[in-house]
Amino acid sequence: MSDLTTVARPYAKAAFDFAVEQGALQEWQDMLAFAAQVADDATMQTFLKGAVSRDKATQLFLSVCGEQLNEKGQNFIKVLAANQRLNALPAILEKFSELRADHDNEVSVDVTSASELSSEQQAKLSTALEKRLARKVKLNCSVNPDLMGGLYIQAGDTVIDGTLKSQLSKLAHSLQS
């Protein structure tokens, strides 16, 4: 996957820069999301891997995408196809989304808790994280009963492990030392 990430970065940056220039970030996000889903389809992957000629595969890809892509989006797909990079579309979407979040000064935060967080708890947590991270926060909450209690928070490279399981582990380790 790291190879696709390396391949995806310049394409995502080019698409992002163009979208910013045109004031069409959401439109490009939507087009890339749709094209990435098409590229992820097992049947489409068969065609892209050489079951038919590259030109026919490109035409099939564009016909499946149909009106979901504007003229510039279709040109972008043609460039990817000419360079045999249509399989990188999901990674391109991921990098584009990261660039957009940076541009919008947002961060996606994964929060894992032992039990479901109420909307009030989520609001308080979101406010506290916005202060700490100095960015708008989008929470992605999930539940893992194995944590016993507390929260495990991950925002990019920043990890806050406030789970009861982690605290007990640290206590056990310090008692053994």
Claim to verify: residue 13 and residue 77 sit in the same structural domain:
yes
Which of the listed residues 83, 101, 119 is the one where a domain comes to its end? Answer: 101
pLDDT higher than 80, residue 70: yes
Q: Are residues 44 and 116 in the same domain?
A: no
CATH number of the domain to which 159 belongs: 3.40.30
Q: Which residues 6+ apart lie within 8 Å of 2 measured at CB? A: none
89 & 11 share domain:
yes
Among 37-46, 52-61, 63-72, 161-170, the range scoring the smallest mean pLDDT is: 52-61
Final residue in a domain of this structure, among 71, 101, 131 = 101
Tally of structural domains, the chain? 2
The mean pLDDT value for 92-111 works out to: 89
Beta carbons within 10 angstroms of residue 78's beta carbon: 14
pLDDT, one tens digit per residue, over 130-143 is 999 888 998 999 99
In a shared domain, residues 7 and 87: yes
Residues 92 and 144 in one domain: no
The better pLDDT of the pair 90, 55 is held by 90
84 three-state secondary structure:
coil
On whether both 91 and 7 belong to a single domain, the answer is yes
Rounded-to-integer distance, Cα 24 and Cα 80, Å = 20
The CA distance from 18 to 100, in Å, is: 12
Contacts with 100 (C-beta within 8 Å, 6 or more apart), sequence order: 16, 25, 29
Task: Please report where in the chains the tokens 């053994």 appear, as a residue.
Answer: 176
DSSP 114: S
What percent of the chain has a predicted confidence (pLDDT) above 70?
Answer: 97
Domain identity same for 67 and 113: no
For range 104-111, the mean pLDDT:
88
Q: Find the CATH number of the domain harbouring 26.
A: 1.10.520.20
Structural domain containing residue 172: 105-176
pLDDT value of residue 1: 46
Local structure of 100: helix, strand or coil: helix
Contacts of 144 (CB under 8 A, 6+ apart): 112, 113, 114, 152
CA R_g for the chain: 21
Check whether residue 115 and residue 92 sit in a common domain: no
Q: Are residues 94 and 113 in the same domain?
A: no
Domain finish residue from 79, 101, 123: 101
The Cα 55–Cα 48 span in angstroms is: 10
